[in-house]
A and B are shown apart, each in its own frame.
Chain A
Amino acid sequence: MAEKIRIERVGKDFDVDGRAMVAISEIDLSIAENQFVSIVGTSGCGKSTLLNMIGGLDEPTRGRILIDGQEVRGPGRDRGFVFQSYTLFEWMTVEENIRFALEKSALSKAEKSEMVAHFIEAVGLSGFEKAWPKQLSGGMKQRVAIARALVYKPSILLMDEPFGALDAQTRGMMQELLLQIWTDHRVTCLFVTHDVDEAIFLADRVVVLGSRPGRVKRDLMVDLPRPRAFDLVTAPEFMETKRLILQDIREETLKLMAAGAH
């Protein structure tokens, strides 16, 4: 498969009280087109920072990020972003929120309406077109955010712990919904989470980041068949993958605790 994203010796330092703190020492990754990659790691491993840099919301201190061979120089409409906080525009209805994302697109008015309606249906929000975000539950809000991030047809979807604030039941439903949408609208997907089950369940590949400074600790393929259903989490292959990742994370957490960071 063609290479979609290339992360070349990328490092990131943050300025903490005038001193440079290394958040990410050096990361090299190559992500194939339409691959679903989960990124997991303990807090402070730089997983969100990495995602922000790919999204163009943050700049690497070292190295470079290439998308389709072009160096990232800021946000762009080839990438959709879903944040952990709901980030809906609360003064707009569900429909208006999604349509707002199409404002920079060259589509005709009718085509835009069609796209908006299509994605409202894809995320299962038919009937809520005119609702205000404040009237929606957390899961519904995040569905609007996903529709908004996909409606302008980006080729990459970046998600930063999008289901982190949801309860366990809603989260499970959202994972299945996301896989359904991803099956229907193939994009390269980068999914940051600290939930190991979630990471494996969704992805073709899980990248485990080590902490302080962040780097790739393990990079493993998830060869579980698709379509996946919720009972996959009890399959022996799933459990084995999970064991490996949990072991990595445990090691990193112990290191952090020894360093007095927790």
Chain B
Amino acid sequence: MPGHPFRLRELFRLRKEIPKPLYTASGFVLPAVLILLWWAVVQAGLIRPLFLPGPGAVLAEGWRQLEKGILLSDAAVSIYRIVAGWLTATVIAVPVGILMGNFRIFEGLLSPLVSTLRYVPVVALIPLTILWAGIGDGQKILILFIGTFFSQVLMIMDNVKNIDVSLIRAGQTLGFSNAEILRRIILPAAAPAIWDTFRITIGWTWTYLVVAELVAASDGLGRRIMDAQRYMATQTILFGTLFIGLLGLITDWLFKKIGQRLFRWNEGRR
């Protein structure tokens, strides 16, 4: 706030904007405090390194993996699985969700089934997926697909339903056909919300990575974590977990930036 000194109480006004640098910086505070706490606890010898290795040990583990080349190859194979699983889910969920959101008959036909399958625990499906898809990448991608698709399709249905019905009516008064309204009005109107759904659902796909690589995998970020469990390599587990978190954060940021570019018209008033 130029002109007058910034007062602390201005941070605690309901729904008030705060300076942008302050907002960005505040996001680093909690992680920094946690890391500091973590470091202090280990340094003071309060916890044995087997249960909680220090930040230094975890970083060293990351460096070791990077030097041996396993980090990048693990990441590559996991990212491939994520992208393949999420894309397969998305390519099907978008048209199906659009149909469900616009035609009651498709909603009636599909939503009871989809809503049920959404609650099926994915871990429980591992044996079946192996039976169906073998032990190769196909099985991992199938797990990621199942974990993503059913909720995604319902979200896209809602995205489509949430557009202002008057937009459709306006299209009708202008003489456009149903197919034209669907393609040129409903789809672009729902696009920013659908993009948000993409951003949220690829986050879910990331969270299913370890489940996907739980059984019958020889590589991947999730596999590395599961292997480490056997040798009690706590620093490997911690590093792997944090690294997946970091990749998820980057994915999220990318989606956000691309979304801002794609939907410039959707920004508020300048």
Q: A and B: partners? A: yes
Chain B residues with CB below 8 A from A85, complex form:
164, 166
A 161-197 binary contact with B (CB < 8 Å = 1; else 0): 0000000000000000000000000000000000000
Given A87-B164, A91-B188, A91-B191, decide whether A134 and B170 contact each other with a Cβ distance below 8 A. Answer: no
The answer to the question of A237 belonging to the interface, with a C-beta cut-off of 8 Å to chain B, is: no
Shortest CB-to-CB span from A150 to chain B, Å, is 12
Given A83-B169, A132-B265, A134-B266, decide whether A91 and B174 contact each other with a Cβ distance below 8 A. Answer: no
Instruction: Identify the closest chain A residue to B167 (Cβ).
Output: A87
Chain B residues with CB below 8 A from A77, complex form:
174-175
The answer to the question of A29 belonging to the interface, with a C-beta cut-off of 8 Å to chain B, is: no
Shortest CB-to-CB span from A127 to chain B, Å, is 16
Measured CA separation A161–B269 after assembly (Å): 25
Number of chain A interface residues as a range = 20 to 34
Contact B270 A81 (CB under 8 A): no
Contact B174 A100 (CB under 8 A): yes
Chain A residues with CB below 8 A from B265, complex form:
90-92, 132-134
The answer to the question of A101 belonging to the interface, with a C-beta cut-off of 8 Å to chain B, is: yes
Contact A83 B166 (CB under 8 A): yes
Chain A residues with CB below 8 A from B172, complex form:
56-57, 74-75
- The residue from A76, A81, A134, A152 contacting B267, defined by CB atoms under 8 A apart: A134
Number of chain B interface residues as a range = 20 to 34
Shortest CB-to-CB span from A47 to chain B, Å, is 16
Chain B residues with CB below 8 A from A149, complex form:
173
- The residue from A76, A83, A84, A90 contacting B175, defined by CB atoms under 8 A apart: A76
Interface residues of B in 169-204 (CB under 8 A from A): 169-170, 172-176, 185, 188-189, 191
Contact B166 A75 (CB under 8 A): no
Contact A81 B170 (CB under 8 A): yes
Measured CA separation A92–B188 after assembly (Å): 10
A and B contact pairs by CB, cutoff 8 A, 18 listed? A57-B169, A57-B173, A75-B172, A79-B173, A81-B169, A84-B166, A85-B166, A87-B166, A89-B188, A89-B189, A90-B189, A90-B265, A92-B265, A101-B174, A133-B265, A134-B265, A134-B267, A149-B173
- List chain B positions with a Cβ less than 8 A from chain A: 164, 166-167, 169-170, 172-176, 185, 188-189, 191, 263-270
